[in-house]
Amino acid sequence: MQDDDANPELHEDPDAPSDAGAEDAAPEPETTDRAAGELETVRSLLLGPEWERVVDARRRFDDPTSHAAEVAKALPAAVAIRAAQDEALGAALAPTIEDSLRTSVRKHPQAIVDAIFPVMGPAIRRSVADTFLRAIQGLNEALEQSLTLKGLGWRIESWRTGRPFAEVVLLHTLAFRVEQVFLIHRETGLLLQHLQADSVAGQDPDMVSGMLTAIQDFVKDSFKAGGNESLNSMRVGTMTVWIEHSPHAILATAIRGTPPQSLRAVMQESLERVSLQMADSLEDFQGDASVFAACRPELEPVLVEQRRDGKARSKRRTLLAWLLIGIVLGLLAWWAVASYVLRRDFAAFVRAVEQQPGILVTRTDKIDGVYQVYGLRDPFAQDPTALKEYELLGPARVHVRMEQHQSSEPAFVLYKSRNILKPPQGVTIDFDSGVLKAKGSTSNKWLAFARARALLIPGVTQFNDDAVVNTTLPALTDLKAKIEARKPRFIVNTTDLSPGQDGMFRDLVKDIRSLVKLAEEESVSLRVELMGHTDSTGAEAKNMRLSMQRAQQVAAVLVSAGVNNDYLTPLGVGATDPVVAAEGTDKDREANRRVNIRVVLPR
């Protein structure tokens, strides 16, 4: 490399003019243009086609349309090569394809239906056909026992044609004829093809096609049918018109008689084959129906005719048919009678429950064939499952679901009072306005029980037993009088009993024990008071002490003889309550030296 000083062209000339005078020294324009042209000529000679290719490549790279076209050329081969290597490409494209398909189905469902109609129809038809074939095979086994001449002839036909025997039987027992077949363009309503049975005089097919289209539009507009709903059949006199639809075509048949449902399948299959075969022609139809002559073979299977055999059935098959009908009718009658009896018995059970006091039926229901009874039941009310009406039904047919409650109905309060108090024979009770009244005659034991329990019964605010005669009181009163009539005597100034009172004490003990026993049995509370007395001689304090000791002495004698000490109450009153107030003699004073016995009974 040379030094800058060695190149005189790189150094400024000190004598060269300055910038201020550069304008005067600038080259001429013609000289500049000529130099640029020469440079372009040299470039084209040196680079030539390579430069053009570089420029073209740069243009295609910068232009999105040209770049997309280049990628589109290589994309199919690239996709095929990548798909052959592994499944990564499919996994990457799957979410995008699924989202696109989902969006398309949501926004344009009819387009998807139109696209898959020729494919889905045959698939569904085949599945349905397989199902019916199995049913026909089952019917074939049921008819194996038919040995009539006609049956043998049909079996030969079944063997010859390869059809199931049951299918041959159905074909021979149905009578109908398809007289005309119309293939109509759905969008324009123009007739595409028309087939007609022999010896059938029909109207102008183009006019019939237009009328069918007009009728369908009229029905759809009049009854506000949806976008995919169309007229499928109609009947005029003895003539039936069946109509099948595809996205671009309509197949209509004029049928005389009663056609089988299998004819629908034949029509659908024919229409599906036509839709698949003539898909492009149907979509691009401009009024020229001649191109649809090629689909006539697909429509000819629809133009069928079946006649019923006029001969009577054999007696054996007739009897068998009537027998089967009789069995079915018998089963239906048995079911109807059983259902009626069950409903009747259930209604009787509900009425019986409602009549029970303390039970309120709120509702009834039937769940999974089992009757349900819901309600409220007082604890003292009759158990519904114990009723005889329930025994006719049983727990397998009726479930009783009762919640507990306290009934305040007057009739049930009386019923409950009788159940709780259980009045004995000779006593009746009535209930009115919260008052429970008893009348009759009974022992004190029941009266005590009734008085304690009556007010605990819900609804009872008062118990009245004024009209009840207490049969225990006479016996108690009689014993009370005998006991109180006996007065033990004492020796002066002592607690010693006077001699000769042993018999009196035996009777006294016997009567007191009888009184206690009767009181305990009849729930009567009692108290036997032993009140000791003295004569008027002696000091008052001493007399009070002596009287108490005499009462205690009598109590000790009674207890030793078997009387319960809990019923005895000794008391000392001294000389305050003398039998003889003026003690003039020793006999008077002896009368005052005593113990009085008082039996205290409840009022």
- Position 24 confidence tier, pLDDT thresholds 50, 70, 90: very low
pLDDT recorded at residue 298: 87
What's the distance, CA 215 to chain centroid? 46
Assess contact for 413 and 464: CB atoms under 8 A: no
> Does 148 have pLDDT greater than 60?
no
Whole-structure pTM value:
0.35
**Confidence category of residue 320, pLDDT binned at 50, 70, 90:** confident
Q: How far is CA 442 from the centre of its chain?
A: 58
Q: Is the CB of residue 518 less than 8 Å from the CB of residue 596? A: no
CA distance 333 to 344: 16
Confidence of residue 529 (pLDDT cuts 50, 70, 90): very high
DSSP string, 208-277: HHHHHHHHHHHHHHHTT--TT----EEEETTEEEEEEE-SSEEEEEEEEE---THHHHHHHHHHHHHHHH
Residue 340 has pLDDT above 50, yes or no: yes
Percentage of residues in the chain with pLDDT exceeding 70?
A: 78
Higher pLDDT, 198 or 191: 191
Query: Given this model, what pLDDT does residue 23 score?
Result: 42
For residue 551, which amino acid is it?
A
Query: What pLDDT does 256 receive?
Result: 77
**In contact, 218 and 212? CB cutoff 8 Å:** no
- Tell me the mean pLDDT in the region 27-31: 57
Mean pLDDT to the nearest integer, 530-551 = 92
Q: Which long-range contacts (CB under 8 A, 24 or more apart) does 549-554 make?
A: 549/495, 550/490, 550/495, 550/593, 550/595, 551/595, 553/495, 553/497, 553/595, 554/488, 554/530, 554/595, 554/597
Q: What is the mean pLDDT of residues 349-355?
A: 89
Burial label for 214, CB within 10 Å (0-12, 13-18, 19+), is: exposed
- pLDDT-derived band of residue 308, with 50, 70 and 90 as boundaries? low
d(CA 258, CA 240): 8
pLDDT higher than threshold 80 for residue 144: no
| Average pLDDT of the residues in 286-312 | 77
pLDDT tens track for 467-522: 888 888 888 889 999 999 999 999 999 999 999 999 999 999 999 999 999 888 88
Quote the CA–CA distance of 175 and 191 in Å, as a whole number. 28
> Tell me, what's the pLDDT at 4?
41
pLDDT, greater one: 174 or 219:
219
Rounded to a whole number of angstroms, the CA Rg of the chain reads: 62
Strongest mean pLDDT among 34-43, 183-192, 590-599: 590-599
Long-range contacts (CB closer than 8 Å, 24 or more residues apart) made by 221-230 = 227/110, 228/110
Look at residue 558 in the predicted model and tell me its pLDDT: 93
Distance CA 126, CA 372 (A): 47
Q: Look at residue 257 and tell me whether its pLDDT is greater than 70.
A: yes
pLDDT at 201: 66
Residue with tokens 């699924």: 98
What whole-number distance in Å separates Cα of residue 95 and Cα of residue 109? 20
pLDDT at 21: 41
Q: Hey, which residues does 153 pair with through a beta bridge?
A: none
pLDDT at 94: 76
pLDDT at position 585: 87
Determine the average pLDDT of the residues in 587-595.
Answer: 90
Residues 6 or more apart in contact with residue 196 via CB below 8 angstroms: 179, 180, 181, 202, 205, 303
Residue 600 to residues 32, 523, 559, 565: CA-CA distances in angstroms? Answer: 160, 14, 18, 15
| pLDDT score, position 530 | 94
> Which residue type occupies 392?
L
What's the burial of 174, exposed, middle or buried (CB within 10 Å: 0-12/13-18/19+)?
A: middle
Ranking 100-104, 452-456, 581-585 by mean pLDDT, the lowest is 100-104
Under 8 Å CB-to-CB from 555, ≥6 apart: which residues?
530, 565, 568, 570
pLDDT at residue 358 in the model:
79
3-state class (DSSP) for residue 532: strand
Q: What separation in angstroms does the CA of 47 have from each of 39, 52, 54, 63?
A: 12, 9, 10, 24
Residue 545 has pLDDT above 90, yes or no: yes
* Residue 329: exposure state from Cβ atoms within 10 A (0-12, 13-18, ≥19): exposed
Number of residues that make up the chain: 603
Residue 185: closest CA among 308, 295, 53, 289: 289
Instruction: Please tell me the distance from the alpha carbon of residue 575 to that of residue 199, in angstroms, as a whole number.
Output: 150
* pLDDT at residue 236 tops 90: no
Does residue 226 carry a pLDDT above 60? no
Confidence (pLDDT) at 603: 67
Task: Supply the DSSP string of 45-110, one letter for each residue.
Answer: HHTTHHHHHHHHHHHHHH-HHHHHHHHHHHHHHHHHHHHHH-SHHHHHHHHHHHHHHHHHHHH-HH
User: Best-predicted range by mean pLDDT among 46-50, 114-118, 308-312, 370-374?
Assistant: 370-374
31 sits in which H/E element: helix 29-46
- Give the list of residues 6+ apart from residue 377 with CB closer than 8 angstroms, or none: 358, 359, 360, 384, 402, 403, 404, 405
- pLDDT at position 29 is 57
According to the model, what pLDDT value does residue 288 have? 84
Q: What is the Cα 565 distance to its own chain's centre?
A: 72
For the segment 37-83, what is each residue's pLDDT rounded down to a tens digit?
777 777 666 666 666 777 777 777 677 776 677 777 777 877 778 77
Domains along the chain with CATH numbers: 113-306 (3.30.450.70), 318-404 (no CATH), 410-470 (3.30.1340.30), 473-600 (3.30.1330.60)
Report which of residues 198 and 146 the model is more confident about: 198
The per-residue pLDDT for 10 is: 38
Instruction: Tell me the C-alpha distance between 466 and 348, whole Å.
Output: 43
pLDDT top residue among 158 and 547: 547
Phi, psi of 289 (to 5 degrees): -90, 0
Q: What value does the mean pLDDT of the chain take?
A: 79
**Res. 33: pLDDT tops 80:** no
